[in-house]
């Protein structure tokens, strides 16, 4: 075998993907890696636990919006189809923001659907299509779950000096969810479509 052939074989072996690799986790889910961010390990651990719960519920709310985006029907289809997708995108940004904060605190963010399903406090919807008022009621309840826990978690973070987590929850999570509640809730206000109640036509 020539040197040229050996060199080619070596080069090709380096180009070959190394598949089917396995190893132990480098950081278990509930373990914390202490980073030099001037917060105690106790504070970081509590914030990570809170944020993972918030992350699981935010991921569930995000996916609920996508489900309803696909399945919505009726005379408000166009408006809600677009609105639900817009809110999905906004929740997806929150998911990334929350997950990155967890990693920054030295924790591990929840990620897989089955883990999220085991963790979320938001009730699981049926697989099938539901009427618009039911879809909206589900979304509003999910928002309330997120907002209730977010307010508690924001106060805890503030009390313990974790200003970064407090700011994320208040500035991003709470404000986004409050705004979305407003836009969604207005679709189930029972107002006349054509003729004003108690009024008279021309």
Q: What pLDDT does residue 15 have?
A: 86
151 vs 193, higher pLDDT: 151
Provide the b/e sequence for 89-101 (b: ≥16 CB within 10 Å).
ebbbebbebbbeb
Whether the predicted pLDDT of 13 surpasses 90: no
pLDDT 10s digits, 98-153:
999 999 999 999 999 999 999 999 999 999 999 999 999 999 999 999 999 999 99
The CA-atom distances, in angstroms, between 63 and each of 35, 52, 103 are 32, 16, 22
Q: Rounded distance, CA 86 to CA 117, Å?
A: 23
Domain locations in the chain as residue ranges: 40-188
Share of the chain above pLDDT 90, in %: 83
Cβ count within 10 A of residue 79: 11
CATH value of 40-188 in 2.40.70.10, 1.20.1260.10, 3.30.565.10, 3.20.20.60: 1.20.1260.10
Q: Rounded distance, CA 60 to CA 191, Å?
A: 31
Mean pLDDT of the 21-38 span:
92
Q: What is the dihedral of CA 178, 184, 190, 192, to 10 degrees?
A: 120
End-to-end CA distance of the chain: 99
Report whether 148 contacts 178 (CB < 8 A).
Answer: no
Report whether 48 contacts 32 (CB < 8 A).
Answer: yes
Minimal CA–CA distance to 150: which of 127, 172, 179?
Answer: 172
Q: What pLDDT does residue 201 have?
A: 61
> What's the mean per-residue pLDDT of the chain?
93
pLDDT 10s digits, 54-88:
999 999 999 999 999 999 999 999 999 999 999 99
């Amino acid at each position: 075998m020539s040197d040229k052939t050996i060199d080619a074989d070596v080069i090709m072996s380096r180009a070959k993907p190394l598949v089917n690799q396995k190893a132990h986790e480098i950081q278990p889910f509930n373990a914390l890696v202490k980073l030099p961010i001037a917060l105690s390990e106790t504070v970081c651990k509590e914030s990570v636990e809170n944020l993972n719960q918030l992350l699981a519920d935010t991921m569930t709310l995000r996916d609920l919006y996508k489900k309803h985006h696909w399945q919505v029907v009726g005379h408000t289809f166009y408006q809600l189809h677009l609105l639900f997708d817009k809110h999905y995108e906004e929740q997806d940004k929150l998911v990334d923001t929350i997950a990155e904060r967890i990693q920054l605190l030295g924790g591990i963010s929840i990620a897989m659907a089955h883990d999220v399903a085991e963790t979320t406090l938001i009730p699981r919807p049926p697989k099938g299509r539901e009427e618009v008022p039911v879809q909206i009621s589900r979304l509003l309840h999910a928002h309330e779950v997120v907002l209730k826990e977010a307010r508690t978690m924001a106060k805890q973070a503030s009390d313990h000096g974790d200003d970064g987590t407090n700011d994320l929850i208040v500035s991003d999570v709470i404000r986004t969810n409050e705004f979305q509640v407003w836009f969604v809730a207005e679709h189930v206000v029972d107002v006349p479509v054509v003729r004003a109640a108690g009024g008279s036509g021309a």
